Amino acid sequence: MEILSQNRSHGGVQGVYSHASQETGTEMTFSVFVPPHETGAKLPVLWYLSGLTCTHANVTEKGEYRAACAGHGIVFVAPDTSPRGDDVPDAEGEYDFGKGAGFYVDATEEPWAKTYRMRSYIERELPDLIAAEFPVDMQRQAITGHSMGGHGALTIGLRNPNRFRSISAFSPIVAPSRVAWGEKALGRYLGDNRDSWREYDAVALIEDGARHDHILVDQGTADDFLEDQLKTGALAMACAKAGMEPVIRMQEGYDHSYYFISTFLGEHVAWHGERLRG
């Protein structure tokens, strides 16, 4: 692991790091905020997955989470959204596919299969690195994310309910199998067999039996993508049919931007903190 930068913030350290990933075959960059803590302490971890076109830097620079993480003693980890590099295949002129749009899947179709392995990177490789290099208690993990990253947080959390004590999301793509962004990404990364898409679709996972008792979703009512791409109501319906009781908050007048995320991210940190104690 290489240290790219470290800055003092709220009594802790905000760092940006890189390492050579075996899963993606590329150099991967991520950020970690470690709050102030006693020597030898092991702290809970909150993962943040970013959305389309983003890197680790968006939330690191705009998220306004550090004060809350310092107050609740939570390590905040923000990975990238896709592999990067000159040898990584891309879709020129398509913001919603390729670099910056990994959708947190392990691709099976060429030319994407070799490097687009963000599921394995987030679920296995990066956690192992974080556990080895930072003062974390991997028995206390939670996950959140925005938009495509909200999709990632929901699907990864639902597939691993014993690992993540709580799941939250901002403006998540809840049913990618049913919307243009998701159909494009899942079809090209995974192929035409739509059954293989279901493990990357939060609504489908719930329909197929996945359960979690602690889910929080914030969605802005002024979000231009709400009706066509995000479809928050589909998640509410799936949870109701499954007997799940998520907290889904429709935030009046908020859009899809980091102005929205930064307004409520501190509340999400506190909500996760309640579930990560002990």
Average pLDDT over residues 211-237: 98
Is 50 a residue of the active site? no
CATH code of 265's domain:
3.40.50.1820
Average pLDDT of the chain, as a whole number = 98
Q: What residue numbers bound the domain in which 95 lies? A: 2-276
Out of 80, 106, 201, 223, the active site residue is 223
* pLDDT-based confidence at residue 209 (cuts at 50, 70, 90): very high
> Residues 21, 50, 82, 147: which is the catalytic one?
147
Using the predicted structure, report yes or no on whether residue 278 has a pLDDT greater than 90: no
Q: Is the pLDDT of residue 198 over 90?
A: yes
The band of 174, judged by pLDDT with boundaries at 50, 70 and 90, is: very high
Tokens of 155: 């699907």
Confidence of residue 262 (pLDDT cuts 50, 70, 90): very high
Please report which confidence band the pLDDT of residue 222 belongs to, taking 50, 70 and 90 as the band edges: very high
E strands present in the chain: 2-9, 12-20, 27-34, 43-49, 75-79, 136-145, 164-170, 215-220, 247-251
pLDDT tens-digit readout, 48-76: 999 999 999 999 999 999 999 999 999 99
- Residue 9 falls in the annotated catalytic set: no
Q: What is the pLDDT of residue 181?
A: 98
CA distances to 86, 95, 122, 195 from 25, rounded to whole Å, are 12, 22, 14, 28
128 is catalytic: no
The single residue of 146, 212, 256, 268 carrying the catalytic annotation is 256
Q: Confidence class of residue 29 from pLDDT cuts 50, 70 and 90?
A: very high
